[in-house]
Amino acid sequence: MILAIFASGNGSNFSAIVKAIKQSVIKVESVILVCDQPGAFVIKRAQKAGVRVILVSRVDFSSRVDFEKAIIQRLKSYKVGLIALAGFMCMLSPRFVKQYRNRILNIHPALLPAFKGSHAIKDALDQKVSFTGVTVHFVDEKMDHGPVILQEQIKIRSNDTLDSLEKRVHALEHKLYPQVIKLFVEGKIKLKGGKVTTL
């Protein structure tokens, strides 16, 4: 199986996944990075790790349709079987999702359906909830939605700051995401009637 990791920023989840691949925890034929931001630090991470980079910048295309067509064309040329969104800051269209139905994973720093959106950790802290966590799910046509594969919670401490909570959430992400990708690659995730079971 060929794995494509989509990322737009720092790329810490990208590095966690690649580390698991290099340690043979996740067994794929190869991995590629798809990035839409030419200046993203994740590109340097990929180059250092010897991972092929596909840079498809949104500003180079007159429409979202053309932008996604260019990505799909590259994915098909590499025979990509699984997509892992890892901080890709561009929501995929229903047309794109349909092309790769049940083959797109996403990781979110909250216990979905709570705290959707790009400020989930801060929102949980501001709302003074007792717990937050991490969700890995299949992507569907809605934002931060789709069948949940795995969730794990984190207790929010009374002395937590945004920085301290982010560090613990990200550490949990780096553990869970490779775990879910491994299950998918090994055929141990089953989706039926919108519900996920793991073998």
Active site residue 170: no
Cα dist from 70 to 55, 80, 90, 96, 192, whole Å: 10, 14, 14, 11, 31
- 52 bridge partner residues: 32
Closest by alpha carbon to 33, among 73, 3, 66? 3
Write the DSSP symbol of residue 89. -
Structure tokens at 118: 């790009």
CA distance 121 to 173: 12
CA distance 16 to 130: 27
Out of 108, 119, 137, 170, the active site residue is 108
Structure tokens at 157: 């401490």
Which amino acids are annotated catalytic? 108
